[in-house]
Amino acid sequence: MGRGRPSKKQQILDAALTLFAERGYQGSSVDLVVQRAGVSKPTVYNNFPTKLSLWQACLEQLLDGAEARRDALAKTVNGDALDRILAVFSELGSDPELKAIYSIMLGEQYKMDAAIRELFAEYENKLKHWCSEQLRKDGQEVSVTQLFALMAFCREGLLLPALTHRPVAPVDELKKVIECL
């Protein structure tokens, strides 16, 4: 293998991520991954015994990357905690791979096994904790109810419209509404 060239396993993951982002879980198949990755079917199955295990590996990789990207994005935002939180939720709704996570996990969750649902729930809990920490850094103490409302407004205003191809709420208007909580 040449320097800088991705491993076969990474080629498979990259191809699968692209397909899941484009087609969702149901619309993707191992055959399409084989074709896109340019590897043999046995190579895919040697690394990932099922489509579900391939999705789990993709999800783990995406979620690890999402946390690092979230932290990096937050550092670039000028403004308060709410500005940082809104920027992160805007990114969740605009990045194709991050949108794929939510689209698949919200729309096709019933097809996933408990380990995958737990992985997604863990990410959601980390996101909630991160939001709470951002507010605390700015000297704002929030109740569980206020945090729930903040997350709901961000999801309903920025993330879900992006997933359903509806217009997202203007961030400045959403911020004004949230500040009234």
pLDDT at 4: 67
Global pTM reads: 0.83
Euclidean distance between CA atoms 164 and 17, whole angstroms: 20
Residue 5 has pLDDT above 90, yes or no: no
CA–centroid distance for 41 within its chain = 28
Give pLDDT tens digits for 53-94: 999 999 999 888 888 999 999 999 999 999 999 999 999 888
CATH of domain 8-179: 1.10.357.10
3-state helix, strand and coil shares in percent for the chain, rounded to the nearest 5: 75, 0, 25
Give the pLDDT mean for 113-139: 92
Domain boundaries, the chain: 8-179
